[in-house]
Amino acid sequence: MGELNFLYSVSDVAFVGGSLVDHGGQNLLEPASLGLPLSSGKSLRNFQEIADELQESKALFLIEEQKELSDFFIDMISKPKKSARIGKASAKVFEKNRGVLIKINQSLNKHLSKLLS
């Protein structure tokens, strides 16, 4: 996460890899945490729920070929208001999902302690 997070932090837009081939994609929440407009390929099974939520929020653009990626980057860089609006949408999805693992852990611990006592 260190190097990618640094690169995202100095970027205006993000392409999240591992998604143009059948790899399942990488973590979409890392660049979303920085309020970046997101693009990705369609192979997102590793993060499908978040991908769906980002798409519903119009914060994630799925691409299939190189031309679509360059078009997305040019569009975001040349239209700062649009880019900012999309970035805010991605940050909102991140905030909504912040701490989900902690909440799941707390719920599991509560139920497990009831079962074990």
Domain boundaries, the chain: 2-116
Q: What is the pLDDT of residues 11-43, one digit of tens each?
A: 999 999 999 889 999 999 999 999 999 999 999
Model confidence at 2: pLDDT above 70: no
DSSP-derived 3-state class of residue 40: strand
pLDDT band at 9 (very low <50, low <70, confident <90, very high): very high
Model confidence at 117: pLDDT above 80: no
Please name the residue that has the structure tokens 């929020």. 57
Cβ neighbourhood burial of 37 (10 Å; 0-12, 13-18, 19+): buried
Average predicted confidence (pLDDT) for the chain: 92
CATH number of 2-116: 3.40.50.2000
Model confidence at 70: pLDDT above 80: yes
- pLDDT at 99 (0 to 100): 83
Q: What is the DSSP letter of 71?
A: H
CA dist., res. 27 & res. 45, Å (int): 11
The predicted model gives 100-114 an average pLDDT of: 81
